[in-house]
Structure 1
Amino acid sequence: MTFWKRNEPLQIGSQFYAIDVTTGRIDRDKRPIRLSSVFERNPFLRELPAELRANFQEMAQSSSREHRRGTELRGPVGGMAVHILLRGCVAEKTKIGSTATTVRILGAGAVLGCMEVFDEKMAPPAATCLNDTWTMSVPMDRMRMLAESYPSLMKAIGISVTDRVEATERIYHRNTAKAEQRLAGLLAHLVMHCAVPSSKCDFKVEGPAQSDLAEALSLSSGSIEAALLSLRKKEIVITGYRSYEFPSLRRLLDASGMSFPPESLAGALASF
Structure 2
Amino acid sequence: MPSPSDPPDLPPHLPITLRTADAFKRPPQHENLTRDSHPSNHLRSVRPGKTRMIRYFQQQGVNGTAAAALADGSYLHMAKPGFLKNPRRGSGYIDVITSGVVSDGVRLWAGGTWIGDLDVFRDAPATVTHPQIETLCETTVLRIDRDVLRSWAMRDLSVQRMIYYVLNERLGVQEMVYGLDHRPTLARVAELIHYLARRLQAFRAAPPGAPRGEEDMVVQGPTQKDLADALGLSLASVEKSIGILRTHQVIASSGKGRANRSYTILDLDLLMAVGVGHPLA
Q: With the length of structure 2 as denominator, give the TM-score of the two structures.
A: 0.68
Select the residue among 70, 74, 88 that pairs with 2:100.
88
Q: Which residue of 1 aligns with 2:118?
A: 115
Counterpart of 2:183 in 1: which secondary structure? coil
* Structure 1: runs of 5 or more not aligned: 16-34, 94-102, 260-272
Change (3 A) 1:181 1:174: farther
- 1:75 and 1:127 in contact (8 A); partners too: no
Q: Which residue of 2 aligns with 1:26?
A: none
Q: Which residue of 1 aligns with 2:178?
A: 172
User: 1:74-130 CA deviation, whole Å, 9 max, x = no partner?
Assistant: 59994321122222221113xxxxxxxxx2222222212143535634632222211
Aligned residue identity for 2:112: G
- 1:81 and 1:113 in contact (8 A); partners too: yes
- 1:210 and 1:224 in contact (8 A); partners too: yes
Aligned residue identity for 2:97: L
Between 108-117 and 50-59, the greater mean CA deviation after superposition: 50-59
Deviation at 1:169, TM superposition (A): 0.8
Q: Which residue of 2 aligns with 1:46?
A: 60
What is the alpha-carbon distance in structure 1 between the residues aligned to residue 241 and residue 58 of structure 2?
33
Aligned residue identity for 1:112: I
Counterpart of 1:124 in 2: which secondary structure? coil
Change (3 A) 1:141 1:39: closer
Number of residue pairs matched by the alignment: 227
What is the alpha-carbon distance in structure 1 between the residues aligned to residue 145 and residue 16 of structure 2?
27
Q: Which residue of 1 aligns with 2:248?
A: 234
Select the residue among 227, 237, 248 that pairs with 1:223.
237
Q: Which residue of 2 aligns with 1:150?
A: 156
Aligned residue identity for 1:14: K
Between 149-158 and 221-230, the greater mean CA deviation after superposition: 149-158
Between 123-132 and 214-223, the greater mean CA deviation after superposition: 123-132
Alignment of 1:50-129 (within 5 A): 50-57=64-71, 60=74, 63-72=75-84, 78-93=90-105, 103-118=106-121, 120-121=124-125, 123-129=129-135
Structure with the greater alpha carbon radius of gyration: 2
What is the alpha-carbon distance in structure 1 between the residues aligned to residue 159 and residue 23 of structure 2?
26
The answer as to 2:267 corresponding to 1:248 is yes
* Structure 2: runs of 5 or more not aligned: 1-13, 27-48, 205-211, 255-259
Moved over 4 A (4+): 8-13, 35-45, 57-60, 73-78, 195-202
Q: With the length of structure 1 as denominator, give the TM-score of the two structures.
A: 0.70
The answer as to 2:189 corresponding to 1:183 is yes
Counterpart of 1:165 in 2: which secondary structure? helix
What is the alpha-carbon distance in structure 2 between the residues aligned to residue 37 and residue 204 of structure 1?
28
Deviation at 1:185, TM superposition (A): 0.6
- 1:11 and 1:193 in contact (8 A); partners too: no
Change (3 A) 1:49 1:135: same
- 1:89 and 1:129 in contact (8 A); partners too: yes
Counterpart of 1:244 in 2: which secondary structure? strand
Larger relative contact order, structure 1 or 2 (CA cutoff 8 Å, min sep 6) = 1
What is the alpha-carbon distance in structure 1 between the residues aligned to residue 80 and residue 182 of structure 2?
36
Counterpart of 1:47 in 2: which secondary structure? coil
Counterpart of 2:181 in 1: which secondary structure? coil
Identical-pair percentage: 21
